[in-house]
Structure 1
Amino acid sequence: MGDATPPKEHILILLPLPPNQELLNGIKKKHPGVTITYHVLEFKVEFGGEPHKIPDEDFLETTILVTLGVFPSNVKLLKNVKLIHLFSAGADKLADTPVWEETTIPITNSSGVHGPQISEWVILQMLANNHKQKLLLEWQKKHYWGKHAEVGWVRDYVGQRLGVLGYGAIGRQTARVSKALGMDVIAYTASPRKTPESKRDNGYIVPGTGDEEGLIPSAWYSGLDKASLHNFLGQDIDVLLIAVPLTPQTQHFLGKEEFEILGKKNAFIVNIARGPIIKTEDLIAAVKKPAKEGGLRGAALDVTEPEPLPEDSELWDVENIAVTPHVSGMGDTYADRAFAILDINLTNLEQGKPLINVVSRKKGY
C-alpha cells in the first residue's frame, strides 16, 4: 500500500484586506486539496473582537485560522483548529482572550515581515534628527535660504553606538543598516545568548536582510531586572532602539532613571515597539532638559500610550520628539510575507517539522 494521503486543510482567513487571488492561488497550487474561506472585516476590529456575520459552520470546518485578532467568543467552535496564524507580529492584546487562556492551539505570528520597512523608518528618523530636517523643511515652506551658521555642524553616525533593546527581526535589520553607516551595535535580550545557536534568528527572515547568525553586535547583554537593564543603558549608547514586546515585565520599562543614564550621552530614543514600554511624562521631561544637564537630544515614536494619541497630548508639540501614527510597518509587501510564513508552516505541518514564528504563551510573545 502507498503512503496515506495527508488530511486536507480548510483555511479560514479573517482580515481587513481584500483577498489577493494570486497569493491564495499560489497556496492552493503548492498545497493541493487545501480549501480557503475568506471574510473581509472592518479594520477597526481588534484582538478578541467578535466577528460579524461569520457562520459558526465556517469555524467548525476550519483547521487553520488566519486572523489579525478576531476569534469566536465560543472557543469550542475552534475544536478542529490545529494552527492559528496571526497577521501581526505582536500578540500582547491576545493575552486575556479565551483562545489564549482556554486552548492550547499553536499560535504563530508574522514577526519578520516588518524588518525592512520599519528599519528604514528608524534610520529615517535618526538621519532627520541629526541633519535637522524639521528646521530645513520649515525654511523651505517659508522660501528662506538659511545661512550655514544657522544650521550648525552635523555629526554623522560613524563611530556612534546603537543600542538595540530587543534583538528580533526589526532590531537585526536596523543593526545591519546601522553598521553600514559605520555604527557600533550592541544588543539586549531577555535571556542570555552565549552560544552561536542561541544568537541565531530561527524565525522568518526576508531574504537578503537581517542578521541570521547574530554576528553584528560587538557585545550582548541580557536580563529583565533593573540592574541588568541599567548596565546595558550605561554602555555609552548614542541611539537606543526599543524593539521589545510588551509584557508585564516590559510595561513602563523605561522611565526617569533610565533616561538619566541615557542622558549622559544625550541619546536619541526610537520606539517602534509599544507605547506603554515608555513612561511618557518622563520621556517628555528628559527631552526638554538641556543637553548640558543630561537631557536627551530627542525621540521618535511610532507608538504611544494611548493610541490613538489624543489631540491635546503634550507629545505632539515637544520640539525634538517626532510622532507618527503607528505606520512604520506599513508596506506593500506585508501580505506577501505574512502569507509566506503561512506557506512555510503548511509545509512544516505536512512534513511533521517544527513550526516557525511560534508564540509562547508563557513568555507572552
Structure 2
Amino acid sequence: MASERPLSTPLNQILPPLILGGAGFSYQHTSTPSVEQTREVVSLAFQLGVRAIDTSPYYEPSEELLGEALSHPQFTSKYDRNDYILMTKVGRVSATKSDFSPEWVRFSVARSLQRLRTDYLDVVFCHDIELVEEENVLEAIAVLNEMVEAGTIRYIGISGYPIDTLARVARRSREMYGRPLDVIQNWAQLTLQNDRLEREGLQVFREAGVSCVCSSSPLASGLLRGEGVPIAALGDWHPAPEGLRRAAHAAAVYVASQGEILARLALRYALWRAKVCSTGNVRVGTIMGGTSVAEIEENITTAVGVLGRDGETLGWNGAGREVESSNDSADVQDLELFRAVQEILGQWRNYSFSGENPATEGDVVQTKL
C-alpha cells in the first residue's frame, strides 16, 4: 500500500502538536497490557483528534498490540493508513542491551513493519543514542537513509535524553550525509520540573538543521503526578532520586489544596510551552502517554483546552480556553500554579537525570500550604 503523502513534504508541515505515546502499552507502565485495552485507547484517541503514534520495540509488547489495534476492521473502516503518522525506533533492545549495527537495524525495521502490520513507517528514530558510541549511531543512520530511498520509511530521527549528545550527532549526521535529520525526540525536558529543551535544546537543534522536535514525557515519565512514579511489571525503573520524588509529592499536595491535579497542570504547561516554541518553520510536538480510556480522555480534553482544534483533529492554529490576550498566553491561574510548583521544587528544578547540575539529595522540601 503506497502512501499518498508526497515524499518531499517536510515533516514539520505534517507533524501534529499531540502524539499518542506507545510506552503506555508496555510492561514499563502497566502490569497487564492487553489487546482490548490498546484497541479501546487508540480508537478513543483517534475519535478525539489524535493522528500520530510513537512507539518502540523496547516498549514490549507495544508494537504487537498497536498492530492489532490499527489493523482491526473497526479501525480500518474509519481510517486509512495515510491518515496518521506512525513512528517507531531501532537500537534499544532491552534495559541492558543496545544494538545499532546495520544487520540489527534492518532486522528491527522489518520486524516493526510486521508487528505494526504496515508496509511503511513514517518515522524511525535511533533510540536512546547516548547508550552507545556515536559512530554506531551514524552507521545506523546510513542504513535508515537507504530505507528512505527504498520507500520503507519516510523520515529519520534520533532520540535520547542528553541534549548535547543529540545536537552533536545531528550536526555530524548532516555533515556526513549532506542532509539534516528530520526530527529529534527528547524526553522529560520540556516540563514543569525541567525546561532545558526550551532554553538550550531548540536552538542547537535548529543550528543542526532540525526543524521538528518531539517532546516526550510531559509528566517527566510519571514523576509529576499525585500517585508518584509508575511501578509496573518491570519494577521501579524511574531515574528520579528520592529527594526529587519528595519534592514532586509536595508539589502535588499543594496543587491539590488549590483544587487542581498536578498531572493535569503539568500537561497544560508542557503543551503551552511546546505551542509557544513552535514558531516559523520549527514544530514541537508533544508525546502524551496514557494506559486507560479514562486517562486518555482526560489528557486529550486537557490538550484541547490548550491547543484547540483544526476541524476534527488537534491542530496548531486552534484557540483554546487557556488563551488570555493571545494564543500563546497561559491562563493567569495556571501561571500562578506553575510558579508555585517550581518554587516548591526548589533546587530540584532543572535537575538532570544525566547528572548535569545535580541537586543535593538531602534538600529539605517546604510545602506551600
Which category of TM-score, normalised to the shorter sequence, fits these structures?
0.3 to 0.5
Structure that is richer in helix per residue: 2
Task: Compute the TM-score of the two structures, normalised by the length of structure 2.
Answer: 0.36
Larger Rg computed on CA atoms: 1
